[in-house]
């Protein structure tokens, strides 16, 4: 895995002090870049920027409104689909060839099946290798 063209992007809103995914990734052995994608309507945006500095990416929900079908009739913007659309543009701006999108509340990354094909929960300790395996699979299978 070329670390310069890969990153994890965490979608987050209103939880500047509870972005559990960062610690979970680090505990699982991920050593690469992590960015937080926030919208400009988040009341905690300044707190995110204070804590995470230049790793905070900010998009405008207004800019993405109408560019996709939100599939609801509530008329508000309280959903993650805006960020899920914006993440592609930020990955391109960052020059990423590969990226993983996570939500902000992941507390653990586990293998669920052991080498004997038994259901067992074991925490991943080599996340860099796991992500590299995903990338190798995509490259080799032309997926």
What does the pLDDT profile of the chain (143 residues) look like in tens digits? 677 899 999 999 999 999 999 999 999 999 999 999 999 999 999 999 999 999 999 999 889 776 655 556 666 556 678 899 999 999 999 999 999 999 999 999 998 888 888 988 899 999 999 999 999 999 899 77
pLDDT of res. 76: 57
pLDDT of res. 70: 57
pLDDT of res. 35: 98
Buried b / exposed e over 88-126, threshold 16 CB at 10 Å, is: eebbeeeebebbbebebebeebeeeeeeeeeeeeeebee
pTM over 0.75: yes
Give how far Cα 74 sits from Cα of 71, 101, 121, 124, Å.
9, 26, 39, 40
């Amino acid at each position: 895995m070329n670390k310069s063209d890969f990153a994890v992007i965490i979608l987050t809103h209103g939880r500047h002090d509870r972005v559990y995914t960062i610690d979970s990734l680090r505990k699982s052995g991920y050593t690469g870049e992590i960015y937080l994608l926030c919208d400009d309507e988040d009341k905690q945006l300044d707190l995110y920027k204070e804590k995470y500095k230049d790793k905070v990416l900010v998009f405008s929900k207004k800019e993405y409104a109408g560019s996709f079908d939100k599939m609801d009739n509530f008329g508000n913007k309280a959903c993650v689909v805006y960020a899920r659309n914006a993440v592609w543009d930020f990955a391109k701006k960052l020059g990423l060839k590969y990226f993983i999108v996570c939500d902000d509340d992941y507390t653990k990354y586990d293998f669920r099946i052991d080498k004997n094909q038994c259901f067992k929960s074991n925490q991943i300790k080599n996340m860099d290798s796991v992500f590299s395996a995903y990338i190798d699979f995509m490259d080799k299978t032309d997926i």
